[in-house]
Amino acid sequence: MFYNNINPDLYASGLVFNCKNFVSESFVQRVETYIEKQELEIAKLQSNASATTPSHDLSIRDSEIHWMDDEEAIPLYDDLTPMLRGVNGSKWDWVIDSWESFQYSEYNESYNGHYDWHIDYALKEPGQPLSRKLSFSLGISNKDDYEGGQLITKVNREEPSYKLDRGEIIIFPSWMLHKVTHVTRGLRKVIVGWGRGPVI
C-alpha cells in the first residue's frame, strides 16, 4: 500500500500498529525545515477535561513542544493524515472525524526528558462530543542519535518497548497506557497526534 516494514506480530495483535519507513526521508526533512522556524515551549499537563489552566509537573513530563497549528504545517497534514486514515480503515475502522493539532516534541538528555505513564483519551464536556480515539508517534530522530527515550505501552502484564527510528511510526488506541522513558544521551524528536471521533 503506502507503507512497508510492518512488524507483523504487532499488526496481527489488533492493538498496536508499528511500521518502519512509514514516511519518506523527504517528509522528515520537510518537518525539520518547518521546525527550524518555530519556537519551542515547555510541555504542560492537562489534568482533566474541564481544567482551564494546564500545569507544569516536570516529575511527570519534561519535554519541549511546538503545536503545529499554523498554515505552514498544512501540507504536512495533507500528506500524513490520508496515510493514518488508511491504517485506521484497515485495522480498526473507527469513526475519525478530525485531527487535533499535531505536536512536535523534543526530549533532551540535558534535562533527562521523559513522560511518565499516561493515557491520551479523556471524556469531553457534553458540548464537546469528540474525544481522542487514535494516537500516533512518528520518529524524526535517528534511533542511534539518542539513548533511552523508549515508548513503552502497557497491555495487561506486557510492556512492549519501541525505540522509534527516523520515519518510523507507532499507532495505538488513545485509551492505552504508555510512557516515554528518560533520555540519557542525545535528543529524541517526534511528532505526536490524535484522531478524534464520537464517543460511542
From CA 96, how far away is CA 107, in angstroms rounded?
A: 29
Predicted confidence (pLDDT) at residue 135 exceeds the cutoff of 60: yes
Mean pLDDT for the stretch of residues 6-15: 50
pLDDT of amino acid 175 = 93
Evaluate if residue 2 carries a pLDDT over 50.
no
Is the Cβ–Cβ distance between 162 and 170 less than 8 Å?
yes
Supply the pLDDT for residue 1. Answer: 36
CATH domain 8-43+58-198 topology: Jelly Rolls (2.60.120)
Q: Nearest 5°: phi and psi at 116?
A: -70, 180
Please say whether the beta carbons of 192 and 178 come within 8 A: no
Say whether pLDDT at 138 is over 80. yes
Please report, rounded to a whole number, the percentage of residues in the chain having pLDDT higher than 70: 84
Does residue 11 or residue 86 have the better pLDDT? 86
- pLDDT at 64 (0 to 100): 97
For residue 158, the 8-state DSSP code is: B
Model pLDDT for residues 153-194, shown as the tens digit of each residue: 998 888 999 999 999 999 999 999 999 999 999 999 999 999
pLDDT in tens, 104-119: 999 999 999 999 999 9
How many whole angstroms separate alpha carbon 37 and alpha carbon 33? 7
Local structure of 63: helix, strand or coil:
coil
How far from 145 is each of 149, 154, 164, 186, 187, CA to CA, in Å?
Answer: 11, 25, 11, 6, 7
Place of cell 460511542: 200
Q: Residue ranges per domain, the chain?
A: 8-43+58-198
**pLDDT single digits (tens) 44-82:** 876 544 444 556 678 899 999 999 999 999 999 999 999
Residue 199, phi then psi, degrees to nearest 5:
-85, 115
Give every CB contact of residue 126 below 8 A, 6+ residues apart in sequence.
none
| pLDDT classification of 122: cutoffs 50, 70, 90 | confident
Share of the chain above pLDDT 90, in %: 76
**Residue 126 vs residue 121, higher pLDDT:** 121
Given a contact cutoff of 8 angstroms between Cβ atoms, the answer to whether 54 and 46 are in contact is: yes
Query: Residues 28, 140: contact at Cβ < 8 Å?
Result: yes
Q: 116: which residues sit within 8 A by CB, 6+ positions away?
A: 59, 60, 61, 179
| Banded model confidence at residue 124, pLDDT cuts 50, 70, 90 | low
For position 9, what pLDDT does the model report? Answer: 43
